[in-house]
Structure 1
Amino acid sequence: MATYRIGVLRGDGIGPEIVEATVAIIAAAAEHAGTTAFDFVSLPMGWEAIEKHGEPIPDVTKEALLKCHGWIMGPHDSSSYPAEHREKRNPSGELRHHFDLYANIRPSKTMAGIKSVVGEADLVIFRENTEGFYPDRNMYAGLGEYMINPDIAIVNGVFTRKAAERIAHAAFRMAMQRRRKVTIVHKANVIRLGYGLFLDTCREVGKQYPEVTVEDYHIDAMAAHLVRRARDFDVIVTTNMFGDILSDLAGELVGSLGLAPSINTNDQQAMAQAAHGSAPDIAGRNIANPVGELLSTVMLLDWLAERHEDRELYQVARLAENAMTVTMQEGICTADLGGTASTTEFTEAIIQRIRQSPRNGEKGV
């Protein structure tokens, strides 16, 4: 039986609730499958870490994550941190920078029983995660922005061929497993050197995947196209800021940003992280929706299954995902989706569905 060491960073706001729900569901799926085991390692992050270690992401957490196959990260409420911590990278930005998690992969897919603004859609956004106009991530030292006087702020945007090449390869590899279409999103008509380099590099990479159809759009046009015809898109590759904005838009168009999953990866590690925030206004009320965090963790398991060529781990991911889907189709869901279930009731319903599922070799009823 394979055992995977998974770091668990509960975070702030609703983070502890949705991460605990996710861990319970994944653990139940592994137990039911009987072919995979998880060693969940709790690590401090956010307010918990500030109170215990004086930093939102202490060195002890980073060192422990190096020994993990992957990790689950809850949302953070960095805007409420003490001033000295707000001036630094937020926890997710720090981990992306520290571990060079260059690909932020964010799927948006319509789900049965969830109202979609755009009808049927199934797309994946590959967001370059290390540079662009996010100044806290694009510098070796310093934060990449400064004020030359109280009325003028300057922000440096960084675009490199290396970063564009590796996110493009990741996107094209995914397209080869899907509908073989890649859309490059940029603003090369205005920011000609920076976005021009990104666009040209992505197109050069695309020549190595002749089976894949390649197109490109300016960011403003792409936002409109997503609203009008989201179903036409397969894999979208873009820069840091544009990917952040487009993925939030796409998540809301197909149902709710609260359902939107994502993982952050390099070639050796992956971090599951729901696209939504920490929702401090509902923290501790047992009404938070764990679907985004759960689906992010399912993505993490799929990533690990591919990396380790572990078919059993892939089956654990399907068991958890299918149980969640059936539970929601039965009308058991949290209030944000029109249901009446609490977080714990929704979680327990999914776990019960897992336990009722046929094991390998058994016939369903």
Structure 2
Amino acid sequence: MTSYRIGILKGDGIGPEIVDAAVSVLDAAAQRAGVLLNAVELPMGWNAIQTYNDPMPQYTKEELKKCQGWLLGPHDSAAYPPGHKEKRNPSGELRHYFDLYANIRPAKTMTGIKSVAGEADLVIFRENTEGFYSDRNMYAGAGEWHITPETAVSAGVFTKKAISRIAHAAFQSAMERRKKVTIVHKANVIKLGFGLFLQTCREVAEQYPEVEVDDYHIDAMTAHLVRRAKDFDVIVTENMFGDILSDLTGELVGSLGLAPSINSNDTQAMAQAAHGSAPDIAGKNIANPIGIMLSAVMLLKWLKTKHNDEQLKEAADLMEKALFETVESGVKTVDLGGTASTSKFAEAIVKRIQDLG
């Protein structure tokens, strides 16, 4: 039986609470499915600053090299001491260091959760290494300059290599879903950068003739998602647009606090909820852990695909089913109109996993 080494980075604010909740549910599902998980807790954020004077120390990165995947809690980098704020935040540093080029963010309505969109089941594939995010689109340094004290220039970077690999990831996902891909861009104005993005995605599409393809400008796409999110399946776009659209779709299907994601390269994946560290409610045991729990589900499914291990899929399905049924039964955290604490919500899911089957 294969053992999977999973890094646990709890992070700041509500991070320790929600990550602990997710790990308890992950352990229960893995045990029930017969999956061996070797969880390794590693320093990150304020905890790492106190010990290593670095929110993402080299020690943690070296240990993560030995992992098939990891759970990353939220960080409160805006509150870090001077000198640390100027660096990439922990999430950005890991995406850059490990070349986690695909940020995969699903948005799916759930029974028992009020949705603005009505019904939706889509996934956004966000290119994670370049575009207009200047903290990670250069080999060295940041892609921004002050020409004069009153003039700033920010560079967007688009390469055929990066576009091709995110497009392939999106189309491969579409083949397992409803076989439809929507390309989101702004090629009508940013003609070279987004022109290359659109052209390259269209070239990749030719290798997937079964998949229906369309494309929209980013401004039009936001309106279409609000009006008819249920019509979309897989969306592929660049870094900044993907960040914006995934926050929008998270809110449309219930709450950004529910939104999961993974960041992956070809051999590793990082599970990370889309929301922040919410320091105002840290330590109160009221935070909603659904985002990080569903991110852990995504990690198990990703590992199943990479390692062809059906027990990983069984664990993922158990975890997801138990979570959805718990919410549907009315057991929810306060933000969703329920009364359960973070830990009690996790305990209810664990019990359901143990009772399933």
**Fold match (TM-score > 0.5):** yes
Q: C-alpha separation between the residues in 2 aligned to 1:142 and 1:83?
A: 18
Which residue of structure 2 aligns with residue 160 of structure 1?
Answer: 159
Deviations 1:133-157 (A, max 9, x none): 0000101110111212221111111
Q: How does 1:269-284 map to 2 (within 5 A)?
A: 269-284=268-283
Which residue of structure 1 aligns with residue 354 of structure 2?
Answer: 355
Pairwise CA distance, 1:209: 0.5
Deviations 1:110-146 (A, max 9, x none): 1011111111111000000000000001011101112
Counterpart of 1:198, as a letter, is: F
Q: C-alpha separation between the residues in 2 aligned to 1:32 and 1:164?
A: 39
Counterpart of 2:197, as a letter, is: F
Q: C-alpha separation between the residues in 1 aligned to 2:151 and 2:55?
A: 30
User: Is it true that 1:130 corresponds to 2:129 in the alignment?
Assistant: yes
Secondary structure of the 1:221 match is: helix
Pairwise CA distance, 1:225: 0.3
Which residue of structure 1 aligns with residue 2 of structure 2?
Answer: 2
Secondary structure of the 1:84 match is: coil
Counterpart of 2:169, as a letter, is: A
Q: C-alpha separation between the residues in 2 aligned to 1:268 and 1:293?
A: 21
Pairwise CA distance, 1:2: 2.4
Which residue of structure 2 aligns with residue 14 of structure 1?
Answer: 14
Which residue of structure 2 aligns with residue 103 of structure 1?
Answer: 102
Deviations 1:233-272 (A, max 9, x none): 0000000000000000001001111000000001100000
Which residue of structure 2 aligns with residue 362 of structure 1?
Answer: none
Q: C-alpha separation between the residues in 2 aligned to 1:212 and 1:351?
A: 38
Secondary structure of the 2:308 match is: coil
Counterpart of 1:217, as a letter, is: Y
Counterpart of 1:27, as a letter, is: D
Which residue of structure 1 aligns with residue 323 of structure 2?
Answer: 324
Deviations 1:289-339 (A, max 9, x none): 000000001000000011100001110111111111111111111001000
Counterpart of 1:39, as a letter, is: N
**What TM-score does the superposition give when structure 1 sets the normalisation length?**
0.97
Counterpart of 2:211, as a letter, is: V
Q: C-alpha separation between the residues in 1 aligned to 2:2 and 2:351?
A: 24
Q: How does 1:243-322 map to 2 (within 5 A)?
A: 243-322=242-321
Q: How does 1:118-267 map to 2 (within 5 A)?
A: 118-267=117-266
Q: C-alpha separation between the residues in 2 aligned to 1:305 and 1:317?
A: 9
Which residue of structure 1 aligns with residue 25 of structure 2?
Answer: 25
Q: C-alpha separation between the residues in 1 aligned to 2:87 and 2:290?
A: 29
Deviations 1:195-215 (A, max 9, x none): 000000000000111111111
Q: C-alpha separation between the residues in 2 aligned to 1:183 and 1:326?
A: 31
Secondary structure of the 2:6 match is: strand
Pairwise CA distance, 1:164: 0.5
Counterpart of 1:229, as a letter, is: R
Secondary structure of the 1:31 match is: helix
Counterpart of 1:233, as a letter, is: F
Which residue of structure 2 aligns with residue 363 of structure 1?
Answer: none
Pairwise CA distance, 1:357: 1.2
Q: C-alpha separation between the residues in 2 aligned to 1:296 and 1:281?
A: 23
Which residue of structure 2 aligns with residue 361 of structure 1?
Answer: none
Q: C-alpha separation between the residues in 2 aligned to 1:195 and 1:18?
A: 38
Q: C-alpha separation between the residues in 1 aligned to 2:22 and 2:95?
A: 22
Counterpart of 1:264, as a letter, is: N
**What TM-score does the superposition give when structure 2 sets the normalisation length?**
0.99
Percent pairwise identity: 70
Counterpart of 1:347, as a letter, is: A
Q: C-alpha separation between the residues in 2 aligned to 1:177 and 1:319?
A: 20
- Root mean square deviation, CA, Å: 0.7
Counterpart of 2:151, as a letter, is: I
Pairwise CA distance, 1:32: 2.3
Counterpart of 1:20, as a letter, is: D
Which residue of structure 1 aligns with residue 68 of structure 2?
Answer: 69
Counterpart of 2:171, as a letter, is: F
Q: C-alpha separation between the residues in 2 aligned to 1:214 and 1:327?
A: 37
Counterpart of 2:166, as a letter, is: I
